[in-house]
Chains A and B, each alone.
Chain A
Amino acid sequence: SAVISQKPSRDICQRGTSLTIQCQVDSQVTMMFWYRQQPGQSLTLIATANQGSEATYESGFVIDKFPISRPNLTFSTLTVSNMSPEDSSIYLCSAGLAPDEQYFGPGTRLTVT
């Protein structure tokens, strides 16, 4: 197994500001993924982050709104830019450590006022 940590665990932000969420894995991994879980909803994949290349975004998500960095094989950040109340969600990162398993971080609960 692996340990994935996220910072911050929660935050309350004002609309129009930005928040950067950090994801740290205790093992080197090729791929990391960022998900959003809106209140009462399932997980929706935002983007896939591969070290050394641009993140690949899913339909409905754009880099200007959710810029992602992947500077090395154990770390990634997701920034939620120019926030609005609709961005209030739990943001989770995950990492593939084995061909058949992905592990999830504990999530960052974001509230935008």
Chain B
Amino acid sequence: AQSVTQPDIHITVSEGASLELRCNYSYGATPYLFWYVQSPGQGFQLLLKYFSGDTLVQGIKGFEAEFKRSQSSFNLRKPSVHWSDAAEYFCAVAPGYSSASKIIFGSGTRLSIRP
């Protein structure tokens, strides 16, 4: 069965520092991977996605993620965080490349920004 693990429940980084949020998945075939952000007052938003091709994908708001098949990982990174990045981040996996595909979410990582 598919599963997504986000080992870090809560991370605090200083504003301007780099960020890496970890995500590991379990899936038999090549998965379709996503990172979503949930911010108060802004709902749920797709940051980036990976389906195939270049394993380093760029997303919105300066985020990027790297797919590493050998490690079953899809970690999210940002070189310099801003106070507005404080939010909950969810890694997710879907089995199919279709609008009908179910998305399975990880447990989330809450990001706090230290001034």
Chain A residues with a Cβ under 8 A of chain B: 29-31, 33, 41-45, 48, 50, 92, 94-107
B43: contacting residue among A48, A95, A98, A106, CB under 8 A = A106
Chain A to chain B contacts (Cβ below 8 Å), 29 pairs: A30-B99, A31-B100, A33-B103, A42-B90, A42-B105, A42-B106, A42-B107, A42-B108, A44-B105, A45-B104, A48-B100, A50-B100, A94-B103, A96-B99, A96-B100, A98-B99, A99-B99, A100-B32, A100-B49, A100-B51, A100-B97, A101-B49, A101-B99, A102-B46, A102-B99, A104-B36, A105-B43, A107-B43, A107-B44
Q: List 6 other contacts, CB 8 Å, given A43-B105, A102-B46, A104-B44.
A: A42-B106, A48-B102, A96-B100, A100-B51, A100-B97, A104-B45
A100 proximity list for chain B (CB < 8 A): 32, 49, 51, 97
Q: In chain B, what residue has the closest Cβ to A104?
A: B44
Whether the pair B102, A101 counts as a contact (CB closer than 8 A) is: no
Report the Cα distance A102→B100, complex, angstroms. 9
Whether A102 pairs with B103 at a CB distance below 8 angstroms is: yes
Interface, chain B (partner A; CB < 8 A): 32, 36, 43-46, 49, 51, 90, 97-108
Main secondary structure on chain A at its contact with chain B?
strand
- In angstroms, Cα B49 to Cα A91, docked, is 23
Q: Give chain A residues whose Cβ lies under 8 Å from the Cβ of B45.
A: 104
Least Cβ distance of A99 to chain B in Å? 6
Known: A42-B108, A48-B100. A104 touches B43 (CB 8 A): yes
CA distance A31 to B100 in the complex (A): 6
A106-B43, A107-B43 known; A45 vs B107 contact (CB < 8 Å):
no
Closest to B91 in A: A42
